[in-house]
Amino acid sequence: MSQLEVGQKVPDFTLPSSSGELVSLQQYLGKKLIIYFYPADLTPSCTQESCDFRDANGAFDALNATVLGISPNDLKSHHKFIAKYDLPFELLSDPDHRVSELFGVWQLKKLYGKEYMGVVRSTFLIDEQGILVKEWRKVKVKNHVTEVLQAAEE
């Protein structure tokens, strides 16, 4: 499958959400959508990134933009993560990494010399018509949310 590219319409997808509902991309047509893919709940970098998005959530709301987080974790893990850090947005569960593969973020990674498949931290800005307008791949957490907010303002 070819990786999604800036300028393309994002194909609709549906995933289970921490809200208890199934969430589809098409539910967000008419709004800007920020989707951030992260490797795992309750890990240091993923927690920092999620809390940064939490802290900027009001600013995103003011721009008619919704934030969604996606990881391979199950909903039980997502619920713990949300409760512990008071995250105001939904987290979607992608255990078979189907949506992660669609966005090209499910990749071979290396840690301490071992290779494994996992999510490469990435964020995507989708416009009101469902077009991918900006992407950040292999994200470094520091100042990342500020960059995403600036792009959403444009």
Give 104-123 pLDDT, tens digit per residue: 999 999 888 999 999 999 99
Q: Which residues, 6+ apart, have CB-to-CB distance to 4 below 8 Å?
A: 10, 11, 102, 103, 104, 124, 132
Token code pair at residue 47: 């927690």
pLDDT value at position 2? 59
**For range 60-71, the mean pLDDT:** 97
Q: Name the catalytic one among 46, 92, 120, 148.
A: 46
Give the chain's mean pLDDT.
Answer: 95
Query: Strand ranges (DSSP E) for 84-153?
Result: 90-93, 106-111, 114-119, 122-126, 132-136
> Does the annotation count 51 as an active-site position?
no
Query: Strand ranges (DSSP E) for 39-113?
Result: 65-71, 90-93, 106-111
pLDDT band at 4 (very low <50, low <70, confident <90, very high): confident
Q: By percentage, how much of the chain surpasses pLDDT 70? A: 99
Query: Strand ranges (DSSP E) for 6-105?
Result: 14-16, 22-24, 32-37, 65-71, 90-93
Give 118-137 pLDDT, tens digit per residue: 999 999 999 999 999 999 99
CA angle at 88 for the pair 85 and 90, rounded to the nearest 5°: 105
Q: Which residues, 6+ apart, have CB-to-CB distance to 120 below 8 Å?
A: 37, 105, 106, 107, 109, 137, 138
Q: By percentage, how much of the chain surpasses pLDDT 90? A: 94
**CATH number of the structural domain 14-153:** 3.40.30.10
pLDDT value at position 1? 46
